[in-house]
Amino acid sequence: MEAHKPAVSGAVYGVILNDRDSLGRMGAALADAPYKGVPKAPVLYIKPAGTVVGSGAVVSLPAGESAVEVGATLGIVFGQGAARLAPEAVPAAIAGYVVVADLSLPHVSYYRPAIREKCFDGACPVGSRVVPAAEVGDLASISLRTYVDGSLVHTRSLADLVRDVPTLVADVSEFMTLRRGDTLLVGVTWQAAQARTGSRVRVEADRVGSVEFEIAAGEGAA
């Protein structure tokens, strides 16, 4: 695979449980311990700089790991700083969207921050182009497809976001500034499709593009 530069270089933030499909599948578990209720605020995490790689990357898993969940998603890329924005002010702050494969080591519990699971080197392959918001249009009509070794393993639509983009950015920017060049992912699916070491993965999104990478075993891996 040809190696490309990732289209973004700022901080990358993600959110879980921002689609009705995931909330529905977790179902009654959300009310039980340890969660004791559906989340009120967006459930955020950070993909640190070392996770961001471009299309064509070979991603080595931490020792002992042999599979990753491929969280197919879009990143909102900011064209200006976003702080304490009302929803109606959000579109003007967005430069565009980029396709992202947010990789996680499979983890069943969302109780504690999943740092090892989500922050290993290379855990955030990012597409090569930020597509202007005007070209992307309505996110609700976008589907994301995940292929492993050429086979379609997962399809999701962005029509079922719990918080749409203006609401998500407004809620996040209430307490943390998103800077120009930062990226906020719109959400990943609970227990997304997995890819094993040795496989080639491709995530593509209508009108936004695609990102491809290979999963390799880490040194000393089982």
Among 91, 106, 113, 137, binds another protein (CB under 8 A): 113
**Each residue of 7-22: b (16+ CB within 10 Å) or e?**
bbeebbbbbbbbbeeb
Q: Counting contacts by CB under 8 A, is residue 41 touching another protein?
A: yes
Piece in contact with another protein (CB under 8 A), picked from 41-49, 67-75, 146-154, 196-204: 41-49
Q: How far apart are CA 21 and CA 126, in angstroms?
A: 24
| Among 57, 59, 90, 119, contact with another protein (rule: CB under 8 A) | 119
- Type of residue at 23: L
Residue 190 as a binder of another protein (CB under 8 A): the answer is no
Q: Give the Cα separation of 210 and 150 in Å (integer).
A: 13
Whole-number minimum distance, CB 24 to another protein, in Å?
16
Rule CB under 8 A: is residue 16 a binding residue for another protein?
A: yes
- Measured distance CA(203)–CA(201) in Å, rounded: 7
Task: Write the DSSP assignment of 61-73 as a string of letters.
Answer: PPTT--EEEEEEE
Asked if residue 115 binds another protein (CB under 8 A), the reply is: yes
88 or 219: CB nearest another protein: 219
Residue 27 found at the interface with another protein (CB under 8 A): no
Is residue 195 close enough to count as binding another protein by CB under 8 A? no
* DSSP letters for 32-59: STTT-S--SS-EEEEE-GGGEEETTEEE
Binding site for another protein (CB under 8 A): 11, 13, 16-17, 34-37, 39-41, 43-46, 48-51, 62-63, 83-84, 110-116, 119-121, 175-179, 219
